[in-house]
Structure 1
Amino acid sequence: MEPKRALALPHLLDRLSLIRRPRTGPLDGKELLKRSLTDFYRRPESRPSVSVDVVRPESTCGRSHAWMADSTPIDVFSPSTQAFENALSGLDTNGRLPFIVVGNDPEMVEECTEVARIYEDHATRLPIDVTVHRGLTREELSQVFQRRSAFVHYIGHCDVDGLRCVDGNLATGSIPESNAQTFFLNACGSFYEGRALIERGSVAGGVTFSKVLNEQAATVGTTFARLLLSGFSIDRAMQLARRQIMMGKNYAVVGDGTHVLGGRRDRHPGTIVADRTDGGRFAITYDVLPNWTAGSWYYPEGMGTDRPHLLGTTTESTLDLESFLRMLESIDAPVVYDGRFFWPEELATQLRSRG
């Protein structure tokens, strides 16, 4: 470890036993699938895009992985000492969480509208205030990041000169300070812009390594939004959201991926993994990862049991179709079925249509 990285150790003391020397393995060519369908990329081909060289860290038995070596990792988040220190300042907004949605391209208006709708729907149950901006200039976008907020969701383009605005590009490294606690830069090759936001004051955010397809970017963006509001950490939300698309490994997290919106650690959302058995029944696993909380417990939703389980453990059951459908109707947890990501209402509709 380089001496400068030792400054991160005080922030990792309660996870010290999980720290290992960085090791990488060969990168499978399929892991960063290249596509020739350029018409639908989020970045017009006339603009030079950013592309990041990545490595594949060797996995361990952990449930979540971070990489603090010099190289850029795939499949794990990239923390920094600066991100940990930024988290110490907290977010003083009188109990409200400001959410800002920025749509900086008219061709992406539907995605911007849908993301804003998801946030506004949750505003009836959570203490969040949603503001939507469209077509911002460089100065206006700079002011958005300098404003104190819980989350900034940028939808638009990015190239080597920075985030696209109506009057040019904004390089986030030129911003005096970033008071956006977390963010999602849903644009092609936004990795370096996201890392610059961490250096300017942010805690964590979602980024991309290279080009992303427009439709797939919209899918990841809207799913990521709902998962964050459900209480998932930035990294866990990204892990789940990117399962929906073929090019999911283009998405990553910079900063402290364990961070939860508003810094809350009392919410522990669950995930359901389901597979159909040879007998036509469904093998169900209910999984809850703790948000930096050890020794607490949860009650598995829809599993027909009132027995508590320790956080970090799973609950397993086998259900017939009707019982599984009733479970899907009673929960709001994401479901990984046959390796694919679903919201419970989506999977219930699909299963009913197949009989």
Structure 2
Amino acid sequence: MTIQFATVDGRSLRVRDTTESEQFTLRADRELAPEEASVDEFTSPVDAAVAIDAGELHFPVYRPAVFLEDGEVVHRTEDGGSSEWLDSGTYEIDASPPGAKTYVKVHDAAVRGRFEDDHTVLDIDPAARLVVGVRSHHERPAATVRTTEDPRDVMAAVSTFGSALKTQSPDRSWPTLRGHPPAIELGTSLAVPDAVAPPETGVTIEVPPEYGPIFTVAPLAYYLGATVEPGAEPRLRAAGATREFDPDALASEVAACLEHCFVLDGVVRTVGVYPFRHEQAEQLEKRVDLDHEALFDRPLDERTAAYLDVPRSATTGLVGWHLTADVAPEPRYATSLPYLVDELAIVRSPPPTPEPAQRAPDPDALARSLGQTTEATADVVVPDPVDTPGHAWVGEGFAVEAANPTVGSFRRGFEWPSGDAPLDVHVVYNDQRIDAPDELAYGNHPTAETNVRVSHSLTTAELQEALLSETDFLHFVGHVTERGMVCPDGELDVRTLPTTGVGAFFLNGCRSYEQGFALLTAGAAGGIVTVDDVDDENAGRIGQQATMLLDTGVPLYGVLDTLDRTGTDTSRYTVLGDPMLTLRRSTSSFGLVNSFDVDRGTASVDSFPSTAYAYPSGENSLGGHMTLHHPETGNHLLSARGVSADFSREQLALHFEEDTVATLLDGSLVLNTDLSLDDFDA
């Protein structure tokens, strides 16, 4: 069973998602005796439900509470000013904490949402029977499409991606209403399961039957539910309207079209079932006049045609895209498309020609010239820069400052972490010069359990056992050579291991990418490695900072981006595997880093400017709802665009007491809970 319920200390209901290894606790105002309830109680899908009696229900973190009656939203409690009692009735309330989608059904009672000590509280008057329903966030491809290497068959495979959309309305801009595209495998014939047949939307995209253009338009085809067909020139057709794409700037023009349609959907959806206004809606309506109701009700092809009539300038700059994927135009890389498209990545295929990385002289070169041999190492390349914080490289060689995913790592990401036990983190210090276990602070997450083991100076046999054992996350601190991971009695070459029990990893040692890639191909889902020599001081600092970011829910791609914001030289680090992989689910649902640049030369400062950087990923990807508590910045479409706001001294004090979040203070990375007002004063 994916969802499990248990009572804790009599008055608390612990909810555990065994698939995602996440848990949280709902606290009531009285003793609880949970009873199994029907999932049919809810209009929204849930995996499991229990009934309890309560007059108050406290959620673990601050989240807006959405109240539905007869399937329609009737109220939303976003702050103290919007807290009000609703008349006695039957309500379904969504105040989901980070761990899973959570609903509370209340019958024949007045209800209210409010906030207390930075968490959400539901009040029920009179106390009544509540049904708590929970749905796991877990998702994966519904089927696998087999295609040949014929580009026309690849077109047919990409045309199935839109079958994963859970709606063709503008609500598909919500990430939870965009299902995962079907997987692709190469074979000797084309086979499309009925379950993922291309949807009939009336939208088509024409491109030459070549891998590069097909790969490039795949995200747009997915989002528009479009079929991809051969044509002499690239173009989009919908309800009689045509948008021509410049073949010499196909990637940028397709990305602009996708962003344009996405933003318009995100604004038009505000007249739908979830009528939540946000900053992007306010800004767009200052630029262009739209009939939201008419657009919402149109079929997808007619709505798309209408969107193409809206000037691109109306939507420019309203969101920030989070991921760019460089994909080599070869048939074997078609299998990576569903996983990249699931994140609405911008695809560049063929990618701009990368540069070879400039690295320090290989310390093993002399040894090899004297007769010691090792496997040939892969080329390390520097891809062309991108405008997004996330960057994936799907092609030959290892890319610097980008993710290097494989299909296997994407698939293993669905299973990681797994099981109903606390997250198992193993920190291995194999160099006494970098032996600083107190600097690594895994286990500060407020809603997730963690078991942290620390080992020192493991021998090759002991390290091999550690790599074979089931471990959610391995953090290795020490030295790595082309021949293996350095131990007191020699070097362990991970390439000699047939498998690994390590789910994800950080190999913080010189030139660890070959050993990391061996872990990836042996069964891991992803991790961070180095592509060159790193000095001990820099490695120790990056290790501490990466630990902080991972433990607060920042995905792998966000770790590299944030480290870059600190001024740290990240040119020697790269990501292997899925860049969206997260060690933890953030308490804000999405990876978040707050940045302050304090002018201490100003006397009597009472206002402190900040920028919040979000790192969308997974079910909390582009298009979610972003609301920041302190300070109150209004609502936003979740994207990688920074949100700026000014903190008062009172708001700062409250922010220091909230759940842990990584914070940049004048370029230094710290936890908000470790700060005080003194750090902001002259």
TM-score, length basis structure 1: 0.81
The answer for unaligned runs of 5 or more in structure 2 is 1-328, 369-375
Look up the match of 1:155: 477
Q: Does structure 2 retain, via aligned residues, the 8 Å contact 1:123–1:129?
A: no
The one-letter amino acid of 1:6's match is A
Cα deviation code 1:116-140 (max 9, x no counterpart): xx12x52775211111211212122
Name the structure with the higher strand share.
2
Look up the match of 1:23: 352
- What's the secondary structure of 1:248's corresponding residue? coil
Distance 1:57 1:153, change over 3 A: same
Cα deviation code 1:147-173 (max 9, x no counterpart): 122100011111121101122101111
Looking at both structures, which has the greater relative contact order when contacts are Cα pairs under 8 Å and sequence separation is at least 6?
1
Look up the match of 2:489: 167
Q: Does the alignment pair 1:304 with 2:632? A: yes
Q: Does structure 1 retain, via aligned residues, the 8 Å contact 2:380–2:399?
A: yes
Look up the match of 2:461: 139
Distance in 2 between residues matched to 1:103 and 1:227, nearest whole Å: 20
Distance 1:348 1:245, change over 3 A: farther
Q: Does structure 2 retain, via aligned residues, the 8 Å contact 1:178–1:202?
A: yes
Q: CA RMSD in A?
A: 3.5
Look up the match of 2:527: 205
Q: 1:98 aligns with which of 424, 429, 453?
A: 424
Alpha-carbon distance, 1:68 to partner: 0.7
Distance in 1 between residues matched to 2:395 and 2:343, nearest whole Å: 17
Look up the match of 1:253: 575
Structure 1 residues 122-131 or 269-278, which shifts more?
269-278
The one-letter amino acid of 2:661's match is A
Alpha-carbon distance, 1:338 to partner: 4.8
Structure 1 residues 222-231 or 9-18, which shifts more?
9-18
Q: Does structure 2 retain, via aligned residues, the 8 Å contact 1:189–1:211?
A: yes
Cα deviation code 1:67-102 (max 9, x no counterpart): 112132222111112211322444433242111111
Alpha-carbon distance, 1:25 to partner: 5.6
Alpha-carbon distance, 1:274 to partner: 3.2
- What's the secondary structure of 1:66's corresponding residue? strand
Counting only pairs closer than 5 Å after superposition, residues 225-236 of structure 1 correspond to structure 2 as 225-236=547-558
Distance in 1 between residues matched to 2:452 and 2:600, nearest whole Å: 47
Distance 1:52 1:173, change over 3 A: closer
- Equivalenced residue count is 336
Alpha-carbon distance, 1:241 to partner: 3.4
The one-letter amino acid of 2:403's match is F
Distance in 1 between residues matched to 2:449 and 2:526, nearest whole Å: 20
Look up the match of 1:188: 510
Distance in 2 between residues matched to 1:12 and 1:165, nearest whole Å: 37
Distance in 1 between residues matched to 2:548 and 2:337, nearest whole Å: 32
The one-letter amino acid of 2:617's match is N
Alpha-carbon distance, 1:268 to partner: 1.1
TM-score, length basis structure 2: 0.44
- What's the secondary structure of 2:398's corresponding residue? coil
Distance 1:163 1:9, change over 3 A: same
Distance in 1 between residues matched to 2:438 and 2:644, nearest whole Å: 38
Q: Does the alignment pair 1:107 with 2:433? A: yes
Distance 1:73 1:324, change over 3 A: farther
Cα deviation code 1:234-268 (max 9, x no counterpart): 22123323554643221111111111126899831
Distance in 1 between residues matched to 2:562 and 2:592, nearest whole Å: 12
Distance in 2 between residues matched to 1:54 and 1:161, nearest whole Å: 17
Distance in 2 between residues matched to 1:73 and 1:348, nearest whole Å: 41
Alpha-carbon distance, 1:141 to partner: 1.0
Counting only pairs closer than 5 Å after superposition, residues 16-95 of structure 1 correspond to structure 2 as 18-21=346-349, 22-24=351-353, 54-95=380-421
Distance 1:276 1:47, change over 3 A: farther
Alpha-carbon distance, 1:17 to partner: 5.9
The one-letter amino acid of 1:66's match is A
Alpha-carbon distance, 1:15 to partner: 4.0
Distance 1:85 1:271, change over 3 A: same
**Aligned residues with identical type, % of pairs:** 24
Q: 1:336 aligns with which of 649, 664, 667?
A: 664
Name the structure with the higher helix share.
1
The structure with the largest alpha-carbon Rg is 2
- What's the secondary structure of 1:131's corresponding residue? strand
